[in-house]
């Protein structure tokens, strides 16, 4: 897994040694190096034996550094028609040629998972892929701009103190999001945001969006037959872009990963005359979480070579080690122990790329605030059909009434309600009242705009989860790809009317995609409505000894945490379900802070 380093000097010319020092700070990113000095800017990349897309290129006025995977390399080469690419057919050279032709519109033409720096010698443009699969951080001061894949590399180049930002850490712990999405865990270091272009010159840093899919929402009206044809074409393209000769499918028993397998299995067989492999975690000791029956059914139907294992890693051990690796606390949404165990098992089997079914629900099941959206736009028949279908599926009248009322209730009244509820509801007695709540997070958004905001949520996030996952991939030497997050596929379904995606006589979630996949997967998978339940599995694995190690008398105290009350719970070992999740998050935070 590659990394990128950039130094734009303002006060004096930095030598190539600075960029090399930055790259050397992360040896797990590969021991090979490539650098290019262009005017007042130095670019560098590090990479390993099998990271063929990373590199630097100079093409007349512009120099480019690229790390990651460029999925549409051939299409980009054909579009720019540059004779220079014949001598240097690399991703970096193709982007340099494209930049000369397309300028700042180039980032939106690229597909894949990557971080890129472009410079003309006096300015530098930095950007990540559309969904932020690759990381990019920077520090800016009077001396210049220092940017790199990891914060530790930025610190090594800028030679600034490695100092945690306690306010940012506390905010993320309590809110689980950052009000300033560009903030990092460290003072004086910021992140380049998802789908944004950062531009630095002799004295300023500015940003602008290079991708704004909000304008595409509900702009298409295709027929059912056309949607089926478009889905087959776009999903084939998405899987083909991510498939290589060392690919394994992360297969669960659900429809999302099964859909990826349904397209990947015949494609792999046709391309390589061999069955594709899958690797699945199974839980025979926990029937509520185990999907073995469905996994085997999918593998048999698609002629997939199935590998299974039972996870053994302790979710609480290694918090300190992972805090050091991640340059931050392990986020709640990332079961880093299980993710790392999976990747290491995949690597031991000889695989370097994993295809999974993640990100599917952002386009096939993001129904929150659908009723207010339809009502505010006068689409009453669709709203009524949706409510009737939900009622037929067993949703209570009270819940349906809440959906309707949320479209008309004054926001001031709604915000007051959530403030009152957050003060009254105190499920975790060792946290100060009102600080640990996600109630009413959207009450500040007009009701008619909440559905739209929910559709765009994947690109409005800070990217913290993807950064942790990407770091884990780097240290394990395996890259994870998400075909459902293919930009062209995602944009297409974002463009369909809400009624087409979510309203039908079929009250089940993902009804549209069940129909689109009918015939590609066994009916038992298509028609499945039950989901695995992991709550008992994780609750049984609570490690109070590890929690006491990190949370009894820690070196740092987080304002809003009542450590004395928490210590009593840890002694009695009686944390509630929500309590142990918060305690695990707090332990991860203290594991990170223990470095100071």
Q: How confident is the model at residue 31 (pLDDT cuts 50, 70, 90)?
A: very high
- Tens of pLDDT, residue by residue over 393-441, are 889 999 999 889 888 887 777 777 766 666 655 568 999 876 655 545 6
pLDDT on residue 509? 87
Using the predicted structure, report yes or no on whether residue 236 has a pLDDT greater than 80. yes
Q: How far is CA 383 from CA 10, 372, 400, 443, 503, in A?
A: 57, 8, 11, 21, 8
pLDDT on residue 424? 58
- Tens of pLDDT, residue by residue over 127-164, are 999 999 999 999 999 999 999 999 999 999 999 999 99
pLDDT on residue 51? 72
**How far is Cα 68 from Cα 51, in angstroms, rounded to an integer?**
8
pLDDT on residue 434? 61
Using the predicted structure, report yes or no on whether residue 558 has a pLDDT greater than 90. yes
| Among 473, 435, 469, residue whose Cα is nearest residue 586 | 435
pLDDT on residue 538? 86
Q: How confident is the model at residue 547 (pLDDT cuts 50, 70, 90)?
A: very high
Using the predicted structure, report yes or no on whether residue 65 has a pLDDT greater than 90. yes
| Among 359, 590, 328, 362, residue whose Cα is nearest residue 464 | 328
pLDDT on residue 535? 85
Cβ atoms 166, 142 nearer than 8 A: no
Cβ atoms 239, 483 nearer than 8 A: yes
pLDDT on residue 134? 95
Domains and CATH numbers, the chain: 3-211 (3.60.20.10), 215-363+463-501+510-531 (3.40.50.620), 369-460 (no CATH), 536-593 (no CATH)
Average pLDDT over residues 228-234: 98
Instruction: Quote the Cα angle for 588-591-596, to 5°.
Output: 140
Give the chain's mean pLDDT. Answer: 92
- Tens of pLDDT, residue by residue over 484-532, are 999 999 999 999 999 999 987 777 889 999 999 999 999 999 999 899 9
**How far is Cα 497 from Cα 274, in angstroms, rounded to an integer?**
40
**CA terminus-to-terminus distance, the chain:** 29
Instruction: Quote the Cα angle for 563-565-569, to 5°.
Output: 110
Neighbouring residues of 312: CB distance < 8 A, sequence distance ≥ 6 = 341
Secondary structure class of 284 (helix, strand, coil): coil
pLDDT on residue 313? 85
Query: E strand or H helix at 537, and its extent?
Result: helix 535-539
Higher pLDDT, 317 or 91: 91
pLDDT on residue 22? 98
pLDDT on residue 426? 57
pLDDT on residue 17? 93
Q: How confident is the model at residue 271 (pLDDT cuts 50, 70, 90)?
A: very high
**What is the β-pairing status of strands 124-128 and 196-200?**
antiparallel
- Work out the percent of the chain whose per-residue pLDDT is above 70: 96
pLDDT on residue 441? 60
pLDDT on residue 243? 95
**How far is Cα 505 from Cα 509, in angstroms, rounded to an integer?**
11
- Tokens for 267? 């494609």
- Tokens for 587? 């332990």
Using the predicted structure, report yes or no on whether residue 280 has a pLDDT greater than 90. yes
**How far is Cα 6 from Cα 147, in angstroms, rounded to an integer?**
5
Q: What are phi and psi of 431, to 5 degrees?
A: -115, 140
pLDDT on residue 57? 95
**How far is Cα 209 from Cα 196, in angstroms, rounded to an integer?**
4
- Tens of pLDDT, residue by residue over 112-123, are 999 999 999 999
Q: How confident is the model at residue 238 (pLDDT cuts 50, 70, 90)?
A: very high
Cβ atoms 162, 178 nearer than 8 A: no
Average pLDDT over residues 269-290: 96
pLDDT on residue 435? 63
Using the predicted structure, report yes or no on whether residue 19 has a pLDDT greater than 70. yes
Question: pTM of this prediction?
Answer: 0.94
| Among 440, 458, 442, residue whose Cα is nearest residue 450 | 442
- Tokens for 163? 């100092």
Q: How far is CA 75 from CA 152, 241, 401, 483, in A?
A: 35, 12, 50, 18
pLDDT on residue 536? 86
Cβ atoms 557, 563 nearer than 8 A: yes
Cβ atoms 363, 493 nearer than 8 A: yes
Average pLDDT over residues 9-36: 91
- Work out the percent of the chain whose per-residue pLDDT is above 90: 76
pLDDT on residue 88? 76
Average pLDDT over residues 67-77: 94
| Among 477, 455, 487, residue whose Cα is nearest residue 242 | 487
**How far is Cα 582 from Cα 12, in angstroms, rounded to an integer?**
47
SS3 content of the chain, % helix, strand, coil (to 5): 45, 15, 40
pLDDT on residue 409? 82
Using the predicted structure, report yes or no on whether residue 345 has a pLDDT greater than 60. yes
3-state secondary structure 301-357: HHCCEEEEECCCCCCCCCHHHHHHHHCCCCCCCCCHHHHHHHHHHHHHCCCCEEECC
Other Cβ atoms less than 10 A from the Cβ of 361: the count is: 14
- Calculate Rg over the CA atoms of the chain: 25
Cβ atoms 334, 190 nearer than 8 A: no
How long is the chain?
A: 596
Neighbouring residues of 75: CB distance < 8 A, sequence distance ≥ 6 = none
pLDDT on residue 421? 66
- Tokens for 35? 């650098």
Task: Supply the angle between the helices 544-551 and 577-593 in degrees, to the nearest 10.
Answer: 50
**How far is Cα 94 from Cα 102, in angstroms, rounded to an integer?**
12
Q: How confident is the model at residue 175 (pLDDT cuts 50, 70, 90)?
A: confident
Cβ atoms 248, 524 nearer than 8 A: no
Average pLDDT over residues 294-299: 98
């Amino acid at each position: 897994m590659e990394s990128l380093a950039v130094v734009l000097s303002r006060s004096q010319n930095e030598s190539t040694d600075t960029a090399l020092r930055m790259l050397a700070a992360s040896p797990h990113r590969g021991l090979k190096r490539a650098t290019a000095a262009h005017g007042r800017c130095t670019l560098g990349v590090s990479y390993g034996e099998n990271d063929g897309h990373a590199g630097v290129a100079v093409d007349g006025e512009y120099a480019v550094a690229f790390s990651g995977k460029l999925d549409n390399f051939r299409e980009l080469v054909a579009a720019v028609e540059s004779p220079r690419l014949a001598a240097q057919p690399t991703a970096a050279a193709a982007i340099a040629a494209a930049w000369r032709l397309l300028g700042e519109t180039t980032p939106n033409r690229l597909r894949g998972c990557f971080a890129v720096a472009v410079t003309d010698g006096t300015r530098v443009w930095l950007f990540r892929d559309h969904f932020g699969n690759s990381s990019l951080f920077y520090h800016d001061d009077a001396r210049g701009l220092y940017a790199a894949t990891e914060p530790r590399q930025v610190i090594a180049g800028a030679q600034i103190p490695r100092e945690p930002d306690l306010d940012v850490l506390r905010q993320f712990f309590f809110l689980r999001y950052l009000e300033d999405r560009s903030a990092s865990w460290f003072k004086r270091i910021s992140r380049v945001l998802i789908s944004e272009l950062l531009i630095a010159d002799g004295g300023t840093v500015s940003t602008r969006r290079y991708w704004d899919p909000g304008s595409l929402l509900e702009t298409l009206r295709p027929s059912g037959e056309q949607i089926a044809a478009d889905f087959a074409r776009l999903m084939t393209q998405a899987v083909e872009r991510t498939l290589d000769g060392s690919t394994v499918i992360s297969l669960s028993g659900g429809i999302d990963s099964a859909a990826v397998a349904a397209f990947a299995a015949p494609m792999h067989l046709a391309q390589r005359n061999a069955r594709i492999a899958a690797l699945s975690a199974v839980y025979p000791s926990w029937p509520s979480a185990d999907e073995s029956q469905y996994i085997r059914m999918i593998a048999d139907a698609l002629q997939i070579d199935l590998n299974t294992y039972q996870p053994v890693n302790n979710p609480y051990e290694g918090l300190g080690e992972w805090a050091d690796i991640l340059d931050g606390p392990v986020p709640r949404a990332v079961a880093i122990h299980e993710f790392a165990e999976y990747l290491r098992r995949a690597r031991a089997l000889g695989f370097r790329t994993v295809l999974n079914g993640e990100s599917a629900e952002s386009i096939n099941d993001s129904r929150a605030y659908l009723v207010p959206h339809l009502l505010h736009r006068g689409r009453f028949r669709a709203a009524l059909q949706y409510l009737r279908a939900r009622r037929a599926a067993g949703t209570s009248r009270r819940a349906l009434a809440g959906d309707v009322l949320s479209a008309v209730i004054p926001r001031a009244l709604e915000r007051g309600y959530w403030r009152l509820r957050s003060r009254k509801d105190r499920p975790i007695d060792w946290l100060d009242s009102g600080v640990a709540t996600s109630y009413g997070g959207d009450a500040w958004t007009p009701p008619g705009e909440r559905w739209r905001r929910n559709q765009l949520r994947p690109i409005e996030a800070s990217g913290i989860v993807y950064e942790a996952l990407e770091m884990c991939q780097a240290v394990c030497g395996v890259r994870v790809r998400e075909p459902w997050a293919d930009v062209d596929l995602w944009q297409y379904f974002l463009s369909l009317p809400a009624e087409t995606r979510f309203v039908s006589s079929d009250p089940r979630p993902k009804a549209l995609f069940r129909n689109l996949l009918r015939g590609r997967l066994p009916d038992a998978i298509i028609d499945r409505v039950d989901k695995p339940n992991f709550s008992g599995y994780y609750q049984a694995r609570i490690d109070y000894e590890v929690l006491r190690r990190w949370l009894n008398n820690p070196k740092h105290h987080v304002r809003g945490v009542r450590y004395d009350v928490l210590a009593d719970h840890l002694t009695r070992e009686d944390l509630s379900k929500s309590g142990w999740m918060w305690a695990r998050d707090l332990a991860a935070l203290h594991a990170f802070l223990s470095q100071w």
